[in-house]
Amino acid sequence: MGGLARLEYRGYDSAGIAAVTTDRERVSTSKKAGKLVNLAKQLADRPLPDATAAIGHTRWATHGAPTDANAHPHIAAGGRIAIIHNGIIENYSTLRKELLAQGVDFLSETDTEVAGHLLAAEVAKGLSLADGMRALVSRLEGAFTLLAVDAQDPGTVVGARRNSPLVVGIGEGENFLGSDVVAFIEHTRTALELGQDEVVELTADAVRVTSFDGTVVDREPYHVDWDSAAAEKGGFATFMDKEIHDQPAAVADTLRGRVDERGKLQLDAGIIDESVLNSVDKIVVVACGTAAYAGMVAKYAIEHWCRIPVEVELAHEFRYRDPVVNVKTLVVAISQSGETMDTIMAIRHAQQQGASVIGIVNTQGSTIAREADAVLYTRAGPEIAVASTKAFVAQITAAYLLGIYLAEIRGNKFPDEIASLMEQLSEIPAKIQRILDTSGPIREVARSMANHNTVLFLGRHVGYPIAMEGALKLKELAYIHAEGFAAGELKHGPIALIEEGVPVFIILPSAHGRESLHSKVVSNIQEVRARGAFTMVIAEEGDTEAADHAEHVFSIPVAPVLMTPLLSVIPLQIFALELATAKGLDVDQPRNLAKSVTVE
Ligand code: M6R
């Protein structure tokens, strides 16, 4: 149950366990709709017998509503076989019809159960569970990680992986499988990532990996460089609050050791030749959700520093519109999990067109980290709360490092300019800490706004993606209608949304510096205020004008404009967290969501 609890962030609409006991007829299962706590209660009333091997699952529904019957594991062959699954079996409908015609009774509406019956049929022919799994996967289309147990082969778990992650934890006299190392981190920090189209056969003291065709694969284990404490709440009430407070460390760790003794920036893994990077004439960032907003922030910086055009595209839109990508394109895939299927598919498409791909990824050994040509890891540590916070600031930091690296090797910046940018970044962790230490007022205001139905967010330049990120946080956590707009766009339509008392957050840029947008944004504030908006302004410390235009001003430390997104997002994260908490909502596991979206 501990492992399942740590994986619950990936899906939490139902959960279940199948245990293989010495009864060789059938596995014992327990499953329940709703959060894991429901399964825990059921198990407390009706415990499963002691087992030699077990599989467990927390679900994010694709096929079939979140009911007890649709919860995994699914059984086949009268309970001899149990199976769990992440992903979508795209040809399940054809396979289901075939099985129905053979007289198979289905107990659920899931695509997974189809796989269970097909596996049972292979095992009934006399194949071992592993051979049966290899036969099964040749019939499946789509994305799947499958784990299965057989009552007649106690002590063995067989897994298969296509497109969805599967990691082996190697212990002493015990071995583990999980979608993420957090599942077994309290038992072992030695992990082995299964590659695409591979099958693993696991017993307490052996791990055997083959490709789908049965060829033995030799995979090197790696050491996980964080421990179980990093995946705990650390005294905070929620993972999200803890992760918000992890942000100074997330930025500092992402910056750590990036410059070698010659003053050159270093990437983490894989090499893209400098000559390739020098010939790049376009950068395309592909990402989803919060990671895409990090990409939008990075666009401003990279174009400014490197004079290379940067496009930012939602990964799920990119692949299907026949994008213009070639050997002169550098694709930057940003992903916390490294397992977002839309982003994986986008990078595969880009690689097929000859583009080089750099992954900005938080999860070691994840699919994007392995498939990209080079990786720049964000060192945010495990992010458990569904709403992304520390990964976001780490993604901006890493993307900035990439921009500075490109500016360096392409000769766009002199060494002293590079050093100055690195210095500006190095000051960010302490500045974030200052915001966290003085977050009382924004928490109080957020709590007072729990009854509002709409909140708008406005920003210009780098404040624009931050406005959208602030709105996303509020939508996903507090279930409030929230929109982020480019402040200048307001008068072209969205201003019609403003009515008496509508709360509007505005990210006010610094009044200093060349081409400051301060006065333009002040005008935008006046426009909404004149129509009755309740304005909350995020302004630089010492901005004496901000208070004249706002019901509330929240200050952030002074920083160069391109560094400000790393600061202005913090009050917005806190606002969403606090408002959702005041509404009594579960901020770590908001409704309908899953942390890693491993289906297209
Ligand atoms: O793991 P990824 O960074 O690829 O995930 C991308 C999005 O699904 C993710 O950022 C999502 O938008 C967050 N829940 C937002 O808080």
| Mutation choice for ligand 1 from 182, 285, 290, 361, CB with most ligand atoms inside 8 A | 290
- Cβ of 346 closer than 6 Å to ligand 1, yes or no, is no
pLDDT of 266 reads 76
Task: Look up the CATH number of the domain holding residue 440.
Answer: 3.40.50.10490
Average pLDDT on 193-211 reads: 95
> How far does the centroid of ligand 1 lie from the alpha carbon of residue 447, in Å?
25
- Asked whether the beta carbons of 183 and 176 are under 8 A apart, the reply is yes
What is the arrangement of strands in the sheet containing 310-314, beginning at the earlier edge strand? 310-314, 282-287, 329-335, 356-361, 374-377
Q: Which of 399, 426, 453 is the last residue of a domain?
A: 426
What is d(CA 440, CA 422) in angstroms, rounded to the nearest whole number? 31
| Mutation choice for ligand 1 from 336, 384, 389, 588, CB with most ligand atoms inside 8 A | 336
> Which residues is 146 bridged to in the sheet?
85, 160
- Cβ of 387 closer than 6 Å to ligand 1, yes or no, is yes
- Cβ of 596 closer than 6 Å to ligand 1, yes or no, is yes
pLDDT of 269 reads 65
pLDDT at 143 over 90: no
Q: Which of 408, 426, 444 is the last residue of a domain?
A: 426
Range of the domain at 295: 233-426
pLDDT of 364 reads 85
- Residue nearest atom 14 in ligand 1 by C-alpha distance: 387
What is d(CA 458, CA 474) in angstroms, rounded to the nearest whole number? 14
What is d(CA 268, CA 551) in angstroms, rounded to the nearest whole number? 46
pLDDT of 531 reads 93
Residues 391 and 367 in one domain: yes
- Cβ of 290 closer than 6 Å to ligand 1, yes or no, is yes
CA distances to 79, 249, 542 from 504, in Å: 57, 30, 21
CA nearest 24: which of 139, 154, 169, 149?
Answer: 154
Residues 224 and 272 in one domain: no
- Asked whether the beta carbons of 207 and 175 are under 8 A apart, the reply is yes
> How far does the centroid of ligand 1 lie from the alpha carbon of residue 371, in Å?
19
Average pLDDT on 550-563 reads: 96
Residues 362 and 419 in one domain: yes
- Residue nearest atom 11 in ligand 1 by C-alpha distance: 289
Q: Residue 464 burial (CB < 10 Å; 0-12/13-18/19+)? A: buried
Q: What would the two tokens of residue 20 be?
A: 């293989």
Give 216-256 as a 3 state SS string.
ECCCCCEECCCCHHHHCCCCCCCHHHHHHHCHHHHHHHHHC
pLDDT at 270 over 70: no
Query: 542's torsion region: left (phi>0), alpha (psi -120 to 50) or beta?
Result: left
Residues 372 and 267 in one domain: yes
Confidence category of residue 282, pLDDT binned at 50, 70, 90? very high
Number of the ligand 1 atom closest to the C-alpha atom of 363? 1
- Cβ of 254 closer than 6 Å to ligand 1, yes or no, is no
- Cβ of 289 closer than 6 Å to ligand 1, yes or no, is yes
Residues 334 and 400 in one domain: yes
> How far does the centroid of ligand 1 lie from the alpha carbon of residue 514, in Å?
34
What is d(CA 262, CA 271) in angstroms, rounded to the nearest whole number? 18
Q: What would the two tokens of residue 584 be?
A: 């009594």
525 versus 229: which is more confidently predicted? 525
- Asked whether the beta carbons of 316 and 574 are under 8 A apart, the reply is no
> How far does the centroid of ligand 1 lie from the alpha carbon of residue 566, in Å?
17
Task: Look up the CATH number of the domain holding residue 194.
Answer: 3.60.20.10
| Mutation choice for ligand 1 from 247, 286, 288, 345, CB with most ligand atoms inside 8 A | 288
Confidence category of residue 427, pLDDT binned at 50, 70, 90? very high
- Cβ of 397 closer than 6 Å to ligand 1, yes or no, is no
- Cβ of 482 closer than 6 Å to ligand 1, yes or no, is no
Residues 224 and 237 in one domain: no
Residues 21 and 156 in one domain: yes
pLDDT at 579 over 90: yes
Residues 121 and 243 in one domain: no
| Mutation choice for ligand 1 from 182, 597, 598, CB with most ligand atoms inside 8 A | 597
pLDDT at 388 over 90: yes
pLDDT of 227 reads 81
Q: Which of 176, 205, 230 is the last residue of a domain?
A: 230
Average pLDDT on 112-123 reads: 97
> How far does the centroid of ligand 1 lie from the alpha carbon of residue 391, in Å?
9
Q: What would the two tokens of residue 530 be?
A: 């004149």
Residues 80 and 205 in one domain: yes
Residues 246 and 190 in one domain: no
- Asked whether the beta carbons of 210 and 160 are under 8 A apart, the reply is no
- Cβ of 33 closer than 6 Å to ligand 1, yes or no, is no
> How far does the centroid of ligand 1 lie from the alpha carbon of residue 463, in Å?
19
pLDDT at 493 over 70: yes
Confidence category of residue 539, pLDDT binned at 50, 70, 90? very high
- Cβ of 388 closer than 6 Å to ligand 1, yes or no, is yes
The pTM of the full predicted model, rounded to 2 decimals, is 0.85
Residues 248 and 216 in one domain: no
Burial 256-276 (b: 16+ CB within 10 A, else e): eebbeeeeebebbebebeeee
- Cβ of 343 closer than 6 Å to ligand 1, yes or no, is yes
- Cβ of 581 closer than 6 Å to ligand 1, yes or no, is no
50 versus 390: which is more confidently predicted? 390
- Cβ of 336 closer than 6 Å to ligand 1, yes or no, is yes
- The count of domains in the chain is 3
Percent of the chain with pLDDT over 90: 80
- Residue nearest atom 10 in ligand 1 by C-alpha distance: 290
Average pLDDT, the chain: 93
> How far does the centroid of ligand 1 lie from the alpha carbon of residue 524, in Å?
30
Residues 251 and 114 in one domain: no
